[in-house]
Structure 1
Amino acid sequence: MHPISKAIRTQVDRTNEMEHSQPLFLTSSFCFDNADDMRAAFADETEDNIYSRFSNPNVQEFVDRMCALEGAEAGFATASGMSAIFASFMTFLKQGDHLLSCRSIFGSTHTVITKYLPKYGISHSYVDAADVSSWEQYITPNTKMIYLETPTNPGLDIIDLKAASALAKKHGLLLNVDNCFATPIAQRPIDFGADLVIHSATKWLDGQGRVLGGIILGKKELIQELYLFCRSTGPSLSPFNAWILSRSLETLEVRMDRHASNALFLAEALEGHARLNWVKYPLLASHPQYAIACEQMTNGGGVVCFELKGGIESGRKFLNALTMLSLTANLGDTRSIASHPASTTHAKLSEAERNAVGISAGLIRISVGLENKKDILADILQALDKC
């Protein structure tokens, strides 16, 4: 069965009840018929639900569907994308370990790596996302994990997953990939050798800006370790949010096909505009890593970025001139969104740090929605005329 069909049809089997759609299980704990059944559950001899902090039918349905989509053996769902990222670090890294990460990453991930991991004695090195061949020089005997985003946020750099996987395997490192921007519809990192795949389900997986959520997927033995960490520390996904996300996955392929086609149309229409220095989209032929994107992605996702001439002042005028697009730091919504990373998602970085990953004062990130593509373009064009 195709992964999409499998994900849509996957439902947790609960004593052969016949609901066509999984009901909500808004309970903190689950009851047992007798003492021996309860003992067996706590001894991990059964897969019975015990407590919704670490097991719940709605959450399990979401996990099972994501496993089908990503080709993963197992997964664990969390309250947000950042809790998934932090859990993956804290489960597999310890005092004295070293993390290798691409430099171009989400602002909050940068904060975790640079401000909080050092408190636990975990060091890091940042590497150029576009040059995997240069990474090996930064690997030390204490390096335990490679962490990356592809496409990166917000600069849309594409990292060669095959090359990153080969490097990780050569040195016995875990390859941990944030697949939020691509989604499993466009890209399955496990197929290219990733050990762990992370999503902020808040974005494209939900797709309507309704709920927070995160998930980590991978090999069963790795997820078991992560499960034990999360079971004790409690970054749990709520049953209601999991129920919403499971329903959203049923339309993920249809939505992402439209997001991607709208995004490519927008990128092609804006390229060469007089008020822009450049336009970037993974499947735009001018993208520096276009060949790699074509090899490992089936579509380019729903994010387009461009740089305005005139810097911060042009950015302010552009955002204020938009009449249809939403102004918010989120992405992955049915509604198109414009954001200014230098003053929002990456504002905590220094100017030097932003420049190092290509986040200029004039960089605009567009999360392309499901509106008519000509309406999206028209709003952006009229705003460009006013900056």
Structure 2
Amino acid sequence: MHGGATADRGDGPVAEPIVQSATFSAASEEEFAQIALERRGGRFYTRYGNPNHEKVAAVIADLEAAETAMVFASGMATATTTALALLSSGDHVVAQRSTYAGTASLVLNVLPRLGITCTQVDQTDPRAFADAFRPQTRLVLLETPSNPLLEVTDLRAVSALARSAGALTLADNTFASPVNSRPLELGVDLVWHSSTKYLGGHSDLSAGALAGSAELLDRIWDTALVTGAVLGPFDAWLLLRGIRTLPLRVRQHNANGAALATALEAHPAVRAVHYPGLPSHPQHAVAATQMSGYGGVVSLELAGGYAAERFISGLRLARRAASLALVVHPVAMWAGTLEPGQISSAGVSPGLVRLAAGIEDTQDLVEDALRSLDALHEGTP
């Protein structure tokens, strides 16, 4: 709530002002040279940083227990810039098989064109990571819980294995949020977010964030200047505004996700529910050691050939759209990003539906989902 707060407790603004300027002046040649060379600064040129960037990055660093942080125009801008900064032709990456479609496309379709190879593994088995390491392995891409199957990666075990192999770990913490999990405290080197999701919280901005040590972010900074995936000052301000209520919102996301998962698991129209907070989840015990809550995202697979689209169309509260606090049919949404074979190899079936509970009334959300499932089961339109 008070992260990154200004030390001035006098007559300054309570709400952080928006600094919309694209460039900043200096009083002398010496000062101009100094601010031009400052990494992650905020008063030279907005591609190099902005006061709104500085403020929200400081708060994100606090949330993730990191030395420092950077912000980007989107989550994928964050992941892509980081990969380009840390990898070179001939390097090797180990990545999860179950992961966000954009991340999968990066490692399967983009990096190979640059001479960077990738091995995908079953993230539920730490030994699968160890078996995939090569002398050329430089980076391990993690995501837990994964999108959209909500599989869990043992961050302590995999980070230790990667460190012993001389590889860096980069974890996507979007679904957990730093309220529920802090991967850096478990040994991960770098954490990134699609800040469009839980951090922003209002579906009105696109942003990404990266947190870790100053030494690693300094290496990534130089590439970030070249890629130019700059977060606008107003979006940085919106992101800070959203983060101020993050703990309150995540508390309700956690409650809604748990209630939905429990109710869905008991319904005869549902074949399987993927939610790490359920005792029936295969990695529930691991999740309990590295998460304080399990988030609002629940995936379900319908039984008996029921159509995912019929279930989605029967919902009254959840809207069909990308991002969180909404409902999606992953097979349909990912068709523009991955090849059909890549989608199926990630374990995403045609019957899979991803629900992302917002902060609505818990009973309303559960009743809405059960109403649509009842209609499917009873064969009504």
Give the structure-1-normalised TM-score: 0.93
Helix, strand or coil: the match of 1:245? helix
From 341, 350, 353, the counterpart of 1:364 = 353
Match of 1:376 in 2: 365
From 298, 321, 327, the counterpart of 1:328 = 321
Spell out the pairing of 1:1-387 with structure 2 (5 A cutoff).
5=1, 8-11=2-5, 18-44=12-38, 49-311=43-305, 314-331=307-324, 333=325, 337-345=326-334, 348-387=337-376
Structure 1 stretch 319-328 or stretch 37-46: which is displaced more? 37-46
Find the aligned partners of 2:20 and 2:162 in 1 and give their Cα distance.
Answer: 41
Find the aligned partners of 1:156 and 1:171 in 2 and give their Cα distance.
Answer: 27
Helix, strand or coil: the match of 2:169? strand
Unmatched segments (≥5 aa) in structure 1? none
Q: For 1:169-218, what per-residue CA distance to the aligned partner results, in whole angstroms no more than 9, with x for missing partners? A: 11011010000000000000000011110000000111110000001111
Per-residue deviation at 1:13? 6.4
Change (3 A) 1:90 1:243: same
Per-residue deviation at 1:78? 0.3
Find the aligned partners of 1:24 and 1:223 in 2 and give their Cα distance.
Answer: 25
Query: Which one-letter code corresponds to 1:186 in the other structure?
Result: N
Q: For 1:292-325, what per-residue CA distance to the aligned partner results, in whole angstroms no more than 9, with x for missing partners? A: 01000000011011101244x6111111111221
Query: Which one-letter code corresponds to 1:323 in the other structure?
Result: R
Match of 2:379 in 1: none
Per-residue deviation at 1:348? 3.9
Helix, strand or coil: the match of 2:355? strand
Query: Which one-letter code corresponds to 2:313 in the other structure?
Result: N
Per-residue deviation at 1:357? 2.6
Contact 1:281/1:304 (8 A) holds in 2:
yes
Per-residue deviation at 1:133? 1.3
Find the aligned partners of 2:3 and 2:250 in 1 and give their Cα distance.
Answer: 19
Q: For 1:109-168, what per-residue CA distance to the aligned partner results, in whole angstroms no more than 9, with x for missing partners? A: 111111111111111000001111122121111110100100000000000001111111
Contact 1:259/1:369 (8 A) holds in 2:
yes
Helix, strand or coil: the match of 2:334? coil
Per-residue deviation at 1:12? 5.4
Q: For 1:262-288, what per-residue CA distance to the aligned partner results, in whole angstroms no more than 9, with x for missing partners? A: 110111111121101011211110000
Change (3 A) 1:316 1:121: same
Find the aligned partners of 1:45 and 1:308 in 2 and give their Cα distance.
Answer: 50
Helix, strand or coil: the match of 1:277? strand
Find the aligned partners of 1:148 and 1:67 in 2 and give their Cα distance.
Answer: 19
Find the aligned partners of 1:88 and 1:369 in 2 and give their Cα distance.
Answer: 30
Find the aligned partners of 2:3 and 2:154 in 1 and give their Cα distance.
Answer: 32
Query: Which one-letter code corresponds to 1:180 in the other structure?
Result: T
Unmatched segments (≥5 aa) in structure 2? 377-381
Change (3 A) 1:112 1:160: same
Change (3 A) 1:214 1:48: closer
Per-residue deviation at 1:59? 0.8
Per-residue deviation at 1:45? 9.7
Find the aligned partners of 2:39 and 2:207 in 1 and give their Cα distance.
Answer: 29
Find the aligned partners of 1:302 and 1:33 in 2 and give their Cα distance.
Answer: 50
Structure 1 stretch 147-156 or stretch 350-359: which is displaced more? 350-359
Query: Which one-letter code corresponds to 1:238 in the other structure?
Result: G
- Structure 1: which 4+ aligned runs deviate by more than 6 Å? none
Find the aligned partners of 2:334 and 2:345 in 1 and give their Cα distance.
Answer: 16
Find the aligned partners of 2:15 and 2:135 in 1 and give their Cα distance.
Answer: 50
Query: Which one-letter code corresponds to 1:320 in the other structure?
Result: S
Find the aligned partners of 1:305 and 1:264 in 2 and give their Cα distance.
Answer: 12
Per-residue deviation at 1:43? 3.9
Change (3 A) 1:343 1:45: closer
Change (3 A) 1:51 1:323: same
Find the aligned partners of 2:212 and 2:334 in 1 and give their Cα distance.
Answer: 28
Structure 1 stretch 231-240 or stretch 47-56: which is displaced more? 47-56
Give the structure-2-normalised TM-score: 0.94
RMSD of aligned Cα (Å): 1.9
Find the aligned partners of 1:17 and 1:229 in 2 and give their Cα distance.
Answer: 39
Change (3 A) 1:274 1:46: closer
